[in-house]
Amino acid sequence: VTANLYLPKRGSPPYPAILFPLGHEPGAKAYPVWQQLLVTFAQRGYVALAWDTIGQGERIQMFDAAVEGSILRSSTLEHTEQGIQCLLAGDAFARYTVWDGIRALDYLLSRPEVDAKRVGVTGNSGGGTHSAYLAALDDRLQVAAPSCFLTTWGRLLETIGPQDAEQCIPGFLGAGLEHVDFVLSFAPKPYLMLSAIRDFFSIAGARSTFSQAEAAYAKLGAAGRMAMQDTDEGHGYSKELRLASYRWFGKWLKGVEEQEGETAIQPAPEHELWCTRTGQVSTSLGGETVFSLNQKRVRSFNALPDRKVSPEALRKIIGWRDSAGAAQVSRYGRITRAGLTVEKLLLETEPGIRLPAIVVSSPEPHAARPGVLVADGRGKSQAWPQIQALAQGGAVVMAVDLRGLGETRAPAALYTKGDEWASWFGDYDSAMTAILLGRTLVGMRAFDIEKAREVLASRAGVDSRRIYGAGHGAGAVAILHAASAGTPFAGLLLDTMLGSYRAVIEHPLHRRIFENVVPGALRHYDLPDLAAGLAPRPVWVVDPVTPMGQVLLPDEAKGTLARAPSTHVVLRFPEEDPAKAYRYLLE
């Protein structure tokens, strides 16, 4: 871990100290505003320590010499790519970033110049996040001043949505926790909230959190130890906030009311602050990365080749919540297409969750026809060739847009973090919000599938004992989980599904995997384990893909997925009719 230590040139030790976790700005510990703060603290008689956060500065985890930087170009993208691996391993990415901060504090307190009883923490944005984390988790800190982070989860979800992986702790909201709990964990020690009125972290939420915290401090007899400073600025540790922090730390760590201003400094160029010869730990020193540590962790508890998980256990793992009663069905007319009858429906699987669906069948009367439930991750409109082939083969086909897919998917323009973020993580906001609630989007979609299957099974002319499931992409992951959680499909077809969660751990890059993540899954099962566990029911796995979406090679596909005689791996030929494989369900 590369770090810079700032030491006073005047006065006598032991000095008070400042722990300074970084935000996501370019240059990491060399960012000019951070240098301004750290130099000023040293000039005022503090020892200050800043270290490169994972994915920043000299600690880029996915460094590419050809581009002289991160493959992903952004620390938040790196955090969240690796955060997916952490989640599958049953951890949070913050496991690593918080530990860096605790070890940084260990080092700071080991310095003979530092008074261990006078130590504060402050940082902005991602550094504000870790100031809040570390203040709550480490009793050695006496004063805290997070900047441009604290708000409320309600306002956060209404505005910019959950942020990158380090700022999201699985189950946090499900446990009933809020941002104010970071402050209350530190009470009654001195706490200053630094906020910007025009920040993307809601100022209304920040003021609400301060109001709650202020009331709690007053009840503890420590009213003067809780304060808030806001400024009419955008996101950043602006001068007014810096001056407020100098005053706050001076009052509580030095016992003086410092009112002097701030002298502008000439920041050092980034290379002068390097701790490595090349400017990168990976090329100068090597060592572990979050990627390599996750691999070791998963290998340590994933040694058994075959693992079975009961439907009851799986429901608990994916955060399944039963809802009483059948889905409510609204009908929106019929049309005829390609000689088939298409009935348009809206299914309300639980209050407020309304899913568009169609039921397609040939008009000729047939008694007790098989049913097929289709869940396509691209949306049902993209599955028409498969739907048509199944219906012409004699099945009654219901195709449903699961929550967050097809007609229910938010337009790309509404993704709060931009098109690039969506291209890597898909509907990140919905999936991460579910994880924060202690649930999963996979589990919610599996629940939708069970309710939709019940509607299909209740239709006249459908043989309820011969209802099959067919999924594509994210829909395949959801339908596999639904079947493994007890939804009684007679067989499954899984098209273009992620070959395994384990592959996500073994490959540093993966795209649009986030919606399919089940936290802690690899502690209990992998996708091939679920497919094998459905035996003797047939499971057709068609064109399974790598974490980057490429079809697996034949030997790898069969070696990964064909763990039971009833699991059949099918790889299409180029230019082959994509609907052809779906007919296996009706044979």
Write the pLDDT tens digit of every residue in 339-358. 999 999 999 999 999 999 99
Q: How far is CA 282 from CA 66, 111, 198, 208, 561, in A?
A: 14, 27, 38, 43, 35
Q: How confident is the model at residue 303 (pLDDT cuts 50, 70, 90)?
A: low
pLDDT, residue 69, reads 82
Strands across the sheet containing 462-472: 328-337, 340-350, 353-361, 396-400, 369-376, 462-472, 492-495, 539-542, 567-570
Which range, of 410-414, 433-437, 468-472, 491-495, averages the lowest pLDDT?
A: 410-414
Q: Is the pLDDT of residue 79 over 60?
A: yes
pLDDT single digits (tens) 184-219: 999 999 999 999 999 999 999 999 999 999 999 999
Exposed/middle/buried for 362, CB within 10 Å: 0-12, 13-18, 19+?
A: middle
Both tokens of 449, joined, read 């599938």
**Amino acid identity of 472?**
H
Q: How far apart are CA 225 and CA 94, in angstroms?
A: 28
Beta bridge partners of 193: 228
Residues 6+ apart with CB under 8 A from 251: 190, 257, 258
DSSP code per residue over 343-409: EEEEEEEETTEEEEEEEEE-SS--SSEEEEEEEETT-GGGGHHHHHHHHHTT-EEEEE--TTSGGGS
In this prediction the pTM is: 0.94
**Amino acid identity of 118?**
R
Where do we find the tokens 């860096």?
100
pLDDT, residue 421, reads 84
Residues 6+ apart with CB under 8 A from 338: 388
Q: Is the pLDDT of residue 395 over 90?
A: yes
pLDDT, residue 404, reads 94
Q: How confident is the model at residue 318 (pLDDT cuts 50, 70, 90)?
A: very high
Upper half-sphere CA count for residue 482 (Cβ side, 13 Å): 35
Maximum Cα–Cα distance across the chain: 95
Bridge-based pairing of strands 114-124 and 143-147 is parallel
Residues 6+ apart with CB under 8 A from 513: 84, 425, 498, 504, 547
Mean pLDDT of all residues in 252-267: 93
pLDDT, residue 304, reads 54
